[in-house]
């Protein structure tokens, strides 16, 4: 899926990947992720960044909104979001909270 240069890759494997598997995917691209998490229902208001973000969901879920495109993207374990610099986005954490890995390009 590609929206406003935003790319989402849904996990296509039969089993949900563990954190080590996701960290290896980053390593294969020469990226060095850090881990973050949020409680259920946490909200991030619309904002943008000066860098490209690469996010994988480890557990739980999070819905990213793209106000300029009028779209929402819900990510689950193993799903990847590539968010280019300057793209306005917001987010709402799912009912079980979320744990993510994130790296910057």
Please say whether the beta carbons of 84 and 6 come within 8 A: yes
Task: Tell me phi and psi for residue 27, to 5 degrees.
Answer: -60, -40
Contact predicate 87/20, CB 8 Å: no
* pLDDT confidence tier of residue 3, bands split at 50, 70 and 90: low
Do 48 and 66 meet the contact criterion of CB atoms below 8 Å apart? no
Q: Which domains does the chain have, with CATH numbers?
A: 2-104 (2.60.120.10)
Residue 51: which residues within 8 A CB-CB, separation 6 or more? 85, 104, 105
The encoded tokens of residue 72 equal: 């929402």
User: What is the tens place of the pLDDT at every residue in 42-88?
Assistant: 999 999 999 999 999 999 999 999 999 999 999 999 999 999 999 99
């Amino acid at each position: 899926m590609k929206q406003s240069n935003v790319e989402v890759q849904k996990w296509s494997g039969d089993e949900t990947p563990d954190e080590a598997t996701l960290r290896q995917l980053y390593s294969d691209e020469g990226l060095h992720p850090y881990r973050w998490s949020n409680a259920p229902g946490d909200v991030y208001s619309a904002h943008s960044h000066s860098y490209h973000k690469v996010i994988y969901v480890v557990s739980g879920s999070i819905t990213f909104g793209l106000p300029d495109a009028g779209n929402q993207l819900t990510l689950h374990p193993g799903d990847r979001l590539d968010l280019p610099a300057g793209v306005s986005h917001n987010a709402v954490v799912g009912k079980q909270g979320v744990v993510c890995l994130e790296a910057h390009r």
